[in-house]
Amino acid sequence: MPTPSMEDYIEQIYLLIEEKGYARVSDIAENLSVHPSSVTKMVQKLDHEKYLIYEKYRGLVLTANGKKVGKRLVYRHELLEQMLRLIGVKEENIYHDVEGIEHHLSWNAIDRIGDLVEFFEEAPERVEDLRKIQKRNEENQK
Ligand SMILES: [Mn+2]
């Protein structure tokens, strides 16, 4: 099981490879706002744990397991964004909130949140009903 920090790296590497076809240490460092030397250290650890293969001058590639894990982590991040958006969380909070919770939920909870998103997407009036409650509560808070 990857640690939260390892998950952040695997997720970021997966996204970079999807976007650009490769993941450079400098890009990973920039996207995660960390020092390149921290990236090198973590990449070595991820290599050791067989999530990727790192060759100093040739860059890095995800192993089959690294890809599988990366895909699940990206899915989880996107699902949580979708869920927060659906329940009416302000756009400016969404990314940061997801970064704060994504590592701390069980996959069981993720699956059930998947059901919840489906429940709302199946019938848009359910979202409207929820918005009515939201509006009422916001009025009461004033
Ligand atoms: Mn994330």
Higher-pLDDT residue of 142 and 36 is 36
Find the DSSP H helices in the chain: 4-20, 25-32, 36-48, 64-86, 91-101, 107-122, 124-141
Domain with 100 in it: what CATH number?
A: 1.10.60.10
The pTM is what?
0.89
- Span from the CA of 88 to the centroid of ligand 1 (angstroms): 19
Residue 121: give the domain boundaries: 76-141
Domain count, the chain: 2
- Give the model confidence (pLDDT) of 5-56 as tens digits: 999 999 999 999 999 999 999 999 999 999 999 999 999 999 999 999 998 7
Residues making up the chain, counted from first to last: 142
- What is the C-alpha to C-alpha distance for residues 38 and 30, in angstroms, rounded to an integer? 11
- Give the model confidence (pLDDT) of 69-126 as tens digits: 999 999 999 999 999 999 999 999 999 999 999 999 999 999 999 999 999 999 999 9
- Span from the CA of 93 to the centroid of ligand 1 (angstroms): 13
Tell me: is residue 96 an annotated ligand-binding position.
no
Domain with 50 in it: what CATH number?
A: 1.10.10.10
Tell me: is residue 77 an annotated ligand-binding position.
yes
